[in-house]
Protein backbone atom coordinates (compact mmCIF):
# COMPACT_ATOMS: atom_id res chain seq x y z
CA UNK A 1 0.00 0.00 0.00
CA UNK A 2 2.86 2.37 0.81
CA UNK A 3 4.44 1.62 -2.57
CA UNK A 4 1.24 2.67 -4.41
CA UNK A 5 0.94 5.84 -2.32
CA UNK A 6 4.57 6.78 -3.05
CA UNK A 7 4.08 6.13 -6.78
CA UNK A 8 0.92 8.25 -6.91
CA UNK A 9 2.63 11.00 -4.90
CA UNK A 10 5.61 11.11 -7.25
CA UNK A 11 3.35 11.12 -10.31
CA UNK A 12 1.33 14.04 -8.93
CA UNK A 13 4.52 15.87 -7.98
CA UNK A 14 5.94 15.46 -11.48
CA UNK A 15 2.65 16.54 -13.05
CA UNK A 16 2.78 19.76 -11.01
CA UNK A 17 5.96 20.76 -12.83
CA UNK A 18 4.30 20.77 -16.24
CA UNK A 19 3.67 24.30 -17.57
CA UNK A 20 -0.03 25.05 -17.91
CA UNK A 21 0.10 28.41 -19.72
CA UNK A 22 0.83 28.28 -23.44
CA UNK A 23 1.80 31.54 -25.11
CA UNK A 24 0.23 32.25 -28.47
CA UNK A 25 2.80 33.25 -31.02
CA UNK A 26 1.17 34.92 -33.99
CA UNK A 27 2.30 37.57 -36.40
CA UNK A 28 0.78 40.84 -35.34
CA UNK A 29 -0.70 43.29 -37.80
CA UNK A 30 1.72 45.85 -36.38
CA UNK A 31 4.66 43.89 -37.84
CA UNK A 32 3.81 45.43 -41.22
CA UNK A 33 4.54 49.01 -40.08
CA UNK A 34 7.46 50.49 -41.99
CA UNK A 35 7.01 48.23 -45.01
CA UNK A 36 5.65 49.32 -48.41
CA UNK A 37 1.93 48.85 -49.07
CA UNK A 38 2.79 47.14 -52.36
CA UNK A 39 3.76 43.99 -50.37
CA UNK A 40 0.30 43.85 -48.76
CA UNK A 41 -1.43 44.44 -52.10
CA UNK A 42 0.58 41.57 -53.60
CA UNK A 43 -0.41 39.30 -50.69
CA UNK A 44 -4.07 40.30 -50.23
CA UNK A 45 -5.02 41.51 -53.70
CA UNK A 46 -6.53 44.92 -54.43
CA UNK A 47 -7.98 46.80 -51.45
CA UNK A 48 -11.75 47.04 -50.97
CA UNK A 49 -11.52 50.82 -50.57
CA UNK A 50 -8.98 53.64 -50.37
CA UNK A 51 -9.70 56.73 -48.25
CA UNK A 52 -7.86 60.03 -48.04
CA UNK A 53 -7.23 60.74 -44.36
CA UNK A 54 -5.04 63.83 -44.75
CA UNK A 55 -3.06 65.39 -47.61
CA UNK A 56 -0.17 63.00 -46.92
CA UNK A 57 -1.99 59.91 -45.58
CA UNK A 58 -4.22 57.31 -47.23
CA UNK A 59 -6.23 54.50 -45.66
CA UNK A 60 -6.32 51.11 -47.40
CA UNK A 61 -9.14 48.75 -46.34
CA UNK A 62 -8.50 45.01 -46.85
CA UNK A 63 -10.53 43.05 -44.21
CA UNK A 64 -8.11 40.15 -43.96
CA UNK A 65 -8.24 37.27 -41.53
CA UNK A 66 -5.42 34.78 -41.03
CA UNK A 67 -5.75 31.67 -38.87
CA UNK A 68 -2.68 29.73 -37.80
CA UNK A 69 -2.47 26.68 -35.57
CA UNK A 70 -0.02 26.89 -32.68
CA UNK A 71 1.01 24.27 -30.19
CA UNK A 72 2.12 20.70 -30.60
CA UNK A 73 5.47 21.38 -28.93
CA UNK A 74 7.13 18.46 -27.20
CA UNK A 75 7.83 18.51 -23.47
CA UNK A 76 8.92 15.79 -21.11
CA UNK A 77 7.96 14.81 -17.58
CA UNK A 78 10.24 12.69 -15.45
CA UNK A 79 9.04 9.97 -13.14
CA UNK A 80 12.02 8.46 -11.35
CA UNK A 81 10.28 5.10 -11.01
CA UNK A 82 9.26 4.58 -14.66
CA UNK A 83 11.48 7.03 -16.59
CA UNK A 84 10.58 10.04 -18.70
CA UNK A 85 7.32 10.54 -20.55
CA UNK A 86 6.97 12.48 -23.78
CA UNK A 87 3.93 14.80 -24.19
CA UNK A 88 2.73 17.44 -26.64
CA UNK A 89 1.08 20.76 -25.89
CA UNK A 90 -2.48 21.17 -27.18
CA UNK A 91 -2.92 22.60 -30.67
CA UNK A 92 -5.31 25.54 -30.94
CA UNK A 93 -6.13 28.10 -33.64
CA UNK A 94 -5.02 31.74 -33.37
CA UNK A 95 -6.81 34.22 -35.64
CA UNK A 96 -5.22 37.50 -36.65
CA UNK A 97 -7.52 40.10 -38.18
CA UNK A 98 -6.27 43.21 -40.02
CA UNK A 99 -8.92 45.62 -41.27
CA UNK A 100 -6.64 48.02 -43.06
CA UNK A 101 -3.52 50.13 -43.08
CA UNK A 102 -2.71 53.84 -42.89
CA UNK A 103 -0.10 54.78 -45.46
CA UNK A 104 2.04 57.92 -45.66
CA UNK A 105 2.71 59.13 -49.17
CA UNK A 106 4.77 62.15 -50.25
CA UNK A 107 2.25 63.03 -52.97
CA UNK A 108 -0.84 61.56 -54.56
CA UNK A 109 1.15 60.70 -57.68
CA UNK A 110 3.81 58.66 -55.82
CA UNK A 111 4.05 55.02 -56.96
CA UNK A 112 2.60 52.35 -54.68
CA UNK A 113 6.07 50.94 -53.94
CA UNK A 114 7.04 54.26 -52.26
CA UNK A 115 3.99 54.40 -49.97
CA UNK A 116 4.98 53.20 -46.48
CA UNK A 117 2.62 51.77 -43.84
CA UNK A 118 2.60 53.94 -40.70
CA UNK A 119 -0.38 52.53 -38.74
CA UNK A 120 -2.86 49.65 -38.65
CA UNK A 121 -6.63 49.99 -38.44
Instruction: List pLDDT tens digits, range 30-73.
Output: 777 888 888 888 877 888 888 888 888 888 887 777 777 888 88
* Average pLDDT, rounded, for the chain: 75
Instruction: List pLDDT tens digits, range 82-104.
Output: 888 888 889 888 877 777 888 88
What's the pLDDT at 20? 42
Q: Is the pTM of this model over 0.75?
A: no
Taking CA atoms, 64 is separated from 44, 49, 108, 112, in Å, by 7, 13, 25, 19
Q: What is the 3-state secondary structure (H, E, C) of the chain?
A: CHHHHHHHHHHHHHHCCCCCCCCCCCCCHHHHCCCEHHHHHHHHCCCCEEEEEECCEEEEEEEEEEEEEECCCEEEEEECCCEEEEEECCCEEEEEEEEEEEEECCCCCCCHHHCEEEEEC
Amino acid sequence: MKKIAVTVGLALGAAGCVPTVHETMAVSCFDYIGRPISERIAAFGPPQAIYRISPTELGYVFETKDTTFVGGHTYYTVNYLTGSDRHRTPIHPVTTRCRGFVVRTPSSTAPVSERVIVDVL
